[in-house]
Amino acid sequence: MSHVIPYVAAIHEAIREEMDRDERVLYFGQNMATSPDDPFLQAFGPDRVRVTPISETAEIGMATGAAMAGYRPVVELYMAEFTLVAADQVVNEGSRFHFMSRGAVSVPMVMVAGYGFTCGWAGQHTGSLYGMFMGVPGLKVAMPSTPADAKGLMTTAIRDDNPVLYFHHYLLLLTEGEVPDGEHAVPFGVADVKREGSDLTIVATGHTVHTALAAAETLARRGVSVEVIDPRTIAPLDVDTILASVARTGHLVLVDQATRHASVAAVVAAEVAELGFSSLEAPISMVTALDSSIAYSQPVEDYVLPDEHKVVTAVEKTLGLAPVPA
Amino acid sequence: MSHVIPYVAAIHEAIREEMDRDERVLYFGQNMATSPDDPFLQAFGPDRVRVTPISETAEIGMATGAAMAGYRPVVELYMAEFTLVAADQVVNEGSRFHFMSRGAVSVPMVMVAGYGFTCGWAGQHTGSLYGMFMGVPGLKVAMPSTPADAKGLMTTAIRDDNPVLYFHHYLLLLTEGEVPDGEHAVPFGVADVKREGSDLTIVATGHTVHTALAAAETLARRGVSVEVIDPRTIAPLDVDTILASVARTGHLVLVDQATRHASVAAVVAAEVAELGFSSLEAPISMVTALDSSIAYSQPVEDYVLPDEHKVVTAVEKTLGLAPVPA
Amino acid sequence: MVVGETVDGGGRDALGPERLVWMYTQMYRIRQFEERVKSTFTEHPGTIRGHTHLADGAEASIVGCIATLAPGDQVLSSYRCHGYPIALGSDTKLMMAEIYGKATGLCGGLGGSMHLYDPARGFLGGSGIVGQHLPHAAGAAWAAQIRRRGEVVVCFFGDGASKQGAFHESLNIASLWKLPVVYVMENNRYNASTRSDQEDANAAAGEPLSTKATAYSMEGTTVDGGDPVAVHATMVEALARARAGEGPTLVESLVYRLSAHGNLIAPPGVPLHYPEHEAIAIFGNRAEYESALRGDPVPRFRHRLVTDGVLGASDADALEAAAREEIDESQRFALDSRLPEPDSGLAYVYA
Amino acid sequence: MVVGETVDGGGRDALGPERLVWMYTQMYRIRQFEERVKSTFTEHPGTIRGHTHLADGAEASIVGCIATLAPGDQVLSSYRCHGYPIALGSDTKLMMAEIYGKATGLCGGLGGSMHLYDPARGFLGGSGIVGQHLPHAAGAAWAAQIRRRGEVVVCFFGDGASKQGAFHESLNIASLWKLPVVYVMENNRYNASTRSDQEDANAAAGEPLSTKATAYSMEGTTVDGGDPVAVHATMVEALARARAGEGPTLVESLVYRLSAHGNLIAPPGVPLHYPEHEAIAIFGNRAEYESALRGDPVPRFRHRLVTDGVLGASDADALEAAAREEIDESQRFALDSRLPEPDSGLAYVYA
Ligand SMILES: Cc1ncc(C[n+]2csc(CCOP(=O)(O)OP(=O)(O)O)c2C)c(N)n1
Ligand SMILES: Cc1ncc(C[n+]2csc(CCOP(=O)(O)OP(=O)(O)O)c2C)c(N)n1
Ligand SMILES: [Mg+2]
Ligand SMILES: [Mg+2]
């Protein structure tokens, strides 16, 4: 059985259920639980649910410290960029401690942040920064594209014994979808085939999964069968599922909201160029954001972002199809 | 004519010459110029040369502000990791301002940091983090591998009208090399072919350029001709020179001190998998650090890093050669 | 064009009747502008995107500060940045066009509400990441110190921003280096929907936030930000200290924002608008909000000028009408302007 | 094993003769350990890699603090982290082996000198990035607050670290939330080769660095870190306040490090060693250094205990000899141990 809820509600459902299940789970961050009738505060009390000042370094660092001392904190950071003022705490503290202590300490914590709010938030709030964090040993990175994955990946993130960066997508917050009833945990490092197909593989993350699915639908009407894979976690990255798909389709298009050289697309392309080279019948094609900050004004914002048309064009080119006139 | 100096002296030579040439150039950072007989302080005085507290956010931010107000600051940051406590200032402030202001302001500044100090500095000081910064629009990233490039890239960095992250390599500091006399500027976005070859192309950066050259030398003795390319700046990245080389050799090995998914190697592999696919006669091979923090103890440190043997093995595999018994 | 060349604060002049009327005019213009931005959400839905933050309630503080500036001085602020450039003389047509995302905007539609720039008038921009512009101000002040022309940098930020590490690092260096900078904390008692006493140890202990200056062996003072003359007097002292090389000041200016933190945050499709102020929406404290409304600094200052005989009621009406007309015109200009070319950003990624 | 279960500070006991001798013993052990680390550079070149930082000169402060702790309490520190675990009861054999990069080391050679961990004894580790462990301490203190067992976290850091934003953010929250944490700033007057007055606005103004506590409406105090009894008394008060839920304290402990900041920094091939102290090497101020040497807290405390009749001279000699033997043995253990297996790190990347 399942229920239909928005992506944002799915995130909260997982946090709430894990807090119910395990009293070591803490939840805190800015501009939350400021009024006594906040539902989390009411359910779990001020020991476990707290509002913080605008102090990301302290917030993430405190999650690290509380984790070392036996708790399982979830720190709400809002926009992905806000992690940048505390990037050392994200990549160079908690993620190293288990290693440096040869396992004497561990740091189970979840950092929740949203990204890619491309609807007029302009240069400093719209970034797709996940690529920066995907190659950090000791750190895991989840990027759900559906309400079900949003819930299931959060559940797993909270139960994981390592620091996890959980990136939700701002444009997906209100998207509704089915979420399985009861306990729902999506394993890390297991990609999901969001649509099966035989002619070409698309790998996409977050919001661009939907762009890819739309393109696949359009192409299906022309008889082109596209498989769409969502890695769901980019660290660990499920390369095997991608390789297996490319082994069947022989063609790969990557879609990514990040700029080309900051993208998951580039990393996937590299893996396939090394491990799946013999399967490839055509060049890999990357549909990413253009190398630009994101502008405030809509036409300029749109111009640099991947969209369905760009994906369709890339698929046509990769398969050597004649473009359909617009 | 040229002179032979260590890499670190080449960096300072460039800063000194640019400060001589242009009085808007400032130089500051931690633990420098603390005593009155510091040579920079003596040459340029306390207006332009200053020691700062351990405040990277303020240091980089002040460079940004001074740049917007008409100066050309060079901020000395020591280890690359120290930029992490101020990553917002590196990637989300100065690098956006020219864009967001539609050119009304510009931010000519150089952030100098060293990386990859893999000689017992352990988990938090040995990182190869450059990959994090290579896909940030508005930001340029230089990574010299020789004293000549160290000088020439610093000269160009100071003259550039954008924020530049200048990453020197800690293990190269005392390496001596020829540096052209007089003004010496190395253009950004122009890769250097450090060794010509016809059988296979290696792209490497920083310290691994020397690993690649050593491997090329070893392989040359076996009649294998390897071309070694150093991009010198990873943003902008000179993809054309790499593609041209691969078009001749048909084979590509990438060497990188970073972990696989944080590497320049992955980005280069992706570019070639898209733009140079038809030239490739074999899978691209990446020789990177293993997915681990860097340990303190030497055998564990060595184990995860790329070395000559790993590069030779990758070349052999790529060319389908029988390995030579060790 | 030298940065700050045309700053128009008139700061070297005494605060005679003419300057007082100038101040009221700027306050009124800012308010008109802000109200027009706000009403755009209902009157022209979809025109403004993303997040806007209004200065309504802070006009007295803004103008009291800017009125102390002189050519060559510079200003930096957070994302709540509409008021400063207006007082500095920026063209409200270009500003409104920017907020409407038009090609004719101050930044060609690339910046938007949070990122206005007008360096010729000394406005070095609004940064969207809390606290991160405080070091920029220190850097600009270092430049001013080296130039030795007696120029000063004024940096506006919120009470919430003083909990960011960048605040601490910047104020220490500013004091240590005796930089010509004045840090103006606009304490509006809220960081979005968090009350100061929920996030600030000084506020929780009932102490003013200017106490923080002690940690930097720096001058710190708290002023009624609803009174432009009091703000002006405080700033005159702070600027004199800065210009004389005696170092920075932390000025805590007590204000109250009269709108919510910003417009609703939502993905495309959901109509954006300004919700009720957090005092009401979150804390159910209507009394606090209404008392702030009664203290609204704009009518309060008009009343004072009229009562003191500095400004005749009909002159006040006339200048208000002129301001309204200006903003009408700005809005018309913004509405009529075209959107930028899709590829117009690419030319500005690198200088 | 619960974190901090076996903390051995004996903090609930009064400071009678036995405890005083215990304190001196720990001070002497730490000093012996540090001297042995230092002499390794000349006697066994190449054995120690990377960067080490010694606590010599700070032993009185370290032991005065640790002696106030009780089981369940926790300690965090910077990279200058050899002294705390020794006082907390960690095995010096395992510590020396770690610094020598051996498989038998406290962290199997994965951590090294800057990153010792012994959570069973309450030592949560040394972080190498300046200031970044201050929030970890606040987080651990939040955990202690929730556990409600009266446990306290003590966080050691340097004077230089107080210029990092993390200091500011952590102290504000610690005070606001009344966290059971004591922040002990070991003010050794230098950040590497920078004097405090060159980088700290309080120091430049001639004010104590504990002044910074004011910014957080927090208790702040300065103590002679060369006197373990004075440090102990200050800490007893601070811990009582913390355990009672009355909030954190900033303790500025005035010390002087007797070695250079750390060993020489150089690429492989260049022999590492300890250069002269920066007072001499950079500032040519031999007098300052020699006066600090004369005040060396280890002989100073011995002299006091002997003079006060708390410790007989021959008992002192005996405990010192025992400590030397312990460290001889630790060094032998470390030298004789093997290096770790090359792939031994991979098992610890993820928990
Ligand atoms: C580093 C960072 N963290 C969080 C935010 C989200 N945010 C934007 S404005 C704001 C409130 C700031 O409050 P204050 O400094 O008092 O300024 P005000 O908005 O009241 O003028 C917050 C938390 C941000 N922009 N940057
Ligand atoms: C964020 C950061 N910046 C710079 C450094 C380099 N660094 C290591 S120790 C040190 C000096 C610290 O001084 P202080 O805090 O007084 O501690 P002390 O070494 O004197 O005990 C510096 C600058 C660092 N490790 N981290
Ligand atoms: Mg506020
Ligand atoms: Mg110190």
Q: Extract the runs of DSSP E, i.e. beta strands, from D216-286.
A: 219-224, 249-254
> Torsions phi, psi of D74, nearest 5?
-135, 155
Ligand 1 lined by C161 (C-beta under 6 Å): yes
- What pLDDT score does D126 carry? 87
**Spans of all domains in chain A:** 2-180, 192-319
Q: Is residue C190 in contact with ligand 1, taking CB distance under 6 Å?
A: yes
Residue C162 CA: which ligand 1 atom is closest? 15
Of C62, C53, C98, nearest in space to C80 by CA = C53
Question: With contact defined as beta carbons under 8 Å apart, do B277 and A278 qualify?
Answer: no
Q: CA A102 to CA A202: how far, in whole Å?
A: 39
Q: pLDDT tens, D308-345?
A: 999 999 999 999 999 999 999 999 999 999 999 999 99
Mean pLDDT of A236-260: 98
Q: How many residues does chain A have?
A: 326
CA distance C171 to C161: 12
Q: What is the Å distance from ligand 2's center to B54 Cα?
A: 7
Cα-Cα-Cα-Cα torsion A217, A222, A227, A232, nearest 10 degrees, comes to: -30
Phi, psi dihedrals of residue C174, rounded to the nearest 5°: -55, -45
Distance of alpha carbon C348 from its chain centroid, rounded? Answer: 26
Which residues contact ligand 2 via a Cβ below 6 A? Answer: B 30-31, 54, 56, 78, 82, 85; D 53, 80, 128-130, 158-161, 186, 188, 190-192, 261
Under CATH, which architecture does the D17-335 domain have? 3-Layer(aba) Sandwich (3.40)
Which tokens hold the place of B167? 């990453």
How many Å apart are CA A34 and CA C224, to the nearest integer? 27
Residue D43 has pLDDT above 50, yes or no: yes
- Residue A49, amino acid: V
Chain A to chain C Cβ contacts (< 8 Å) = 144
Task: Please compute Rg for chain D using Cα positions.
Answer: 19
Convert the pLDDT of each residue in A283-300 to its tens digit: 999 999 999 999 999 999
Cβ distance of D138 and A162 shorter than 8 Å? no
Cα D257 to ligand 4 centroid, rounded to whole Å: 8
Q: Which residues have CB under 8 Å from C325's CB, separation 6+?
A: none
Two tokens, residue D209:
């660095």
Nearest to D142 by CA among C80, C21, A64: A64
Task: At C283, list the tokens.
Answer: 């804390």
Q: Which residue has the tokens 């107000």?
A: B69
Q: With contacts defined as CB-CB under 8 Å, which chain B residues touch A85?
A: 57, 86-88
- Residues above pLDDT 90, as percent of chain A: 98
**pLDDT over 70 percentage in chain D:** 97
- Of how many residues is chain C composed? 351
Residues of D engaging C, defined by a Cβ cutoff of 8 Å: 163-169, 171-173, 175-176, 199-202, 204-205, 207, 211-212, 214-218
**pLDDT, greater one: C15 or A171:** A171
pLDDT in tens, D92-121: 999 999 999 999 999 999 999 999 999 999
Dist. CA D66 → ligand 4 center (Å): 19
pLDDT, tens only, A201-244: 999 999 999 999 999 999 999 999 999 999 999 999 999 999 99
pLDDT of residue C1: 41
Report in angstroms the alpha-carbon separations of B28 from B67, B109, B110, B282, D190: 13, 12, 11, 48, 18
Residue C335's Cβ-count burial label (10 Å; 0-12, 13-18, 19+) is: middle
pLDDT in tens, C25-42: 999 999 999 999 999 999
Whole-angstrom Cα distance, residue C140 to residue C146? 10
3-state secondary structure of C296: coil
Task: Indicate the residue type of C234.
Answer: T
Distance (Å, rounded) from C-alpha A111 to C-alpha A15?
Answer: 12
A124 lines ligand 1 (CB under 6 A): no
Q: Which residue has the tokens 């006493």?
A: C197
Q: Which of D164, D172, D202 sits opposite C163 (nearest CB)?
A: D172
Average pLDDT, chain D: 96
Per residue in C298-336, pLDDT (tens digit) is 999 999 999 999 999 999 999 999 999 999 999 999 999
The predicted structure's pLDDT at residue D1: 42
Tell me how far the alpha carbon of residue D194 lies from the centroid of ligand 4, in angstroms: 9
Q: What is the pLDDT of residues D166-206, one digit of tens each?
A: 999 999 999 999 999 999 999 999 999 999 999 999 999 99
Place of tokens 């005796």: C178
Write the ipTM: 0.98
Segments making up each domain of chain C, as ranges: 17-335
Contact between residue C77 and residue C133 where contact means Cβ atoms under 8 Å apart: yes
pLDDT at D9: 67
Residue D112 and residue D49 in contact, taking contact as beta carbons nearer than 8 Å: yes
* Nearest atom in ligand 2 to D261's CA: 19
Q: Specify the pLDDT at position C6.
A: 62
What φ, ψ does residue C250 adopt, rounded to 5°? Answer: -100, 115
Q: In angstroms, rounded to a whole number, what is the distance separating the alpha carbons of residues C157 and C170?
A: 13
Q: Which of C113, C191, C270 sits opposite A54 (nearest CB)?
A: C191
Amino acid of residue D144:
A
Does B292 lie at the interface with C, CB-CB under 8 angstroms?
A: no
Q: What are phi and psi of B214, to 5 degrees?
A: -65, -40
CB contact under 8 A, C50 and A30: no
Instruction: For CA atoms C301, C304, C306, C308, give the dihedral sign.
Output: negative
- How far apart are the C-alpha atoms of B233 and A283, rounded to whole Å? 25
What would the two tokens of residue D31 be? 């000093």
Note whether D342 contacts B299, CB cutoff 8 Å. yes
Q: Which helix H or strand E contains B29, and what residues bound it?
A: strand B25-30
Q: Provide CB contacts within 8 A for B284, sequence distance 6+.
A: A270, A273, A274, A277, B252, B253, B254, B269, B272, B273
Active-site residue (options: A98, A125, A184, A207): A125
B125 catalytic? Reply is yes
Q: State how far the Cα of A274 lies from the Cα of A271, in Å rounded to an integer.
A: 5
Measured between CA atoms, how close is B274 to chain D, in angstroms?
32
**Chain D residues with CB-CB distance to A102 below 8 A:** 107-108, 110-111, 348
| pLDDT on residue C147 | 97
Q: What is the mean predicted confidence (pLDDT) over A249-253?
A: 98
Q: What ligand 2 atom has the least distance to the C-alpha of D187?
A: 16
In the predicted structure, residue C251 carries a pLDDT above the cut 50: yes
Do the first three CATH levels of A2-180 and A192-319 match, i.e. the same topology?
Answer: yes
Distance CA D59, CA C262 (A): 53
Residue D314's Cβ-count burial label (10 Å; 0-12, 13-18, 19+) is: exposed
List, for residues C254-304, the tens digit of each pLDDT value. Answer: 999 999 999 999 999 999 999 999 999 999 999 999 999 999 999 999 999
Q: Which residues of C71-99 are buried (b: 16+ CB within 10 A; e: fewer)?
A: bbbbbbbbbbbbbbbbbbbbbbbbbbbbb
Q: What share of chain B is helix, strand, coil (3-state, %, to 5)?
A: 45, 25, 35
> Which of B98, B125, B184, B207 is flagged as catalytic?
B125
d(CA C75, CA C120) in angstroms, rounded, equals: 11
The pLDDT tens digits of the residues spanning C153-183 come to 999 999 999 999 999 999 999 999 999 999 9
| Per-residue pLDDT of chain B in tens (326 residues, 90 and over written 9) | 999 999 999 999 999 999 999 999 999 999 999 999 999 999 999 999 999 999 999 999 999 999 999 999 999 999 999 999 999 999 999 999 999 999 999 999 999 999 999 999 999 999 999 999 999 999 999 999 999 999 999 999 999 999 999 999 999 999 999 999 999 999 999 999 999 999 999 999 999 999 999 999 999 999 999 999 999 999 999 999 999 999 999 999 999 999 999 999 999 999 999 999 999 999 999 999 999 999 999 999 999 999 999 999 999 999 999 887 65
Q: Across chain C, what does the average pLDDT equal?
A: 96
The token pair that represents C208 in the structure block: 């003013």
Whose CA is closest to C46, among C262, C228, C303, C263? C263
Please enumerate in sequence order all residues whose Cβ is within 8 A of that of D127, keeping only pairs 6 or more positions apart, or say none: A93, B124, D76, D77, D78, D79, D115, D133, D136
**Does the N-terminal peptide bond of residue A236 adopt cis geometry, omega within 30 degrees of 0?**
yes
Cα B146–chain centre separation: 10
Torsion of CA C289, C291, C297, C300, to 10 degrees: 150
Helix, strand, coil in percent for chain A, rounding step 5: 45, 25, 35
Contacts of C205 in chain D (CB under 8 A): 217
What is the C-alpha separation between A26 and A46, in angstroms, rounded? 10
Query: D207-265, pLDDT tens digit by residue?
Result: 999 999 999 999 999 999 999 999 999 999 999 999 999 999 999 999 999 999 999 99
- Are C156 and C182 contacting, i.e. CB atoms less than 8 angstroms apart? no
CB contact under 8 A, D110 and A138: no
Contact D67, D184 (CB under 8 A): no
Residue of C77, C80, C130, C350 to mutate, testing the A interface (most A Cβ within 10 Å of its Cβ): C130
User: Nearest ligand, CA of residue C131?
Assistant: 1
Does the B192-319 domain belong in CATH 3.30.365.10?
A: no
Q: Which CATH superfamily is domain A2-180 in?
A: Thiamin diphosphate (ThDP)-binding fold, Pyr/PP domains (3.40.50.970)
Angle at D265 between CA D262 and CA D269, to 5 degrees: 130
SS3 for B301? helix
DSSP designation for C118: B
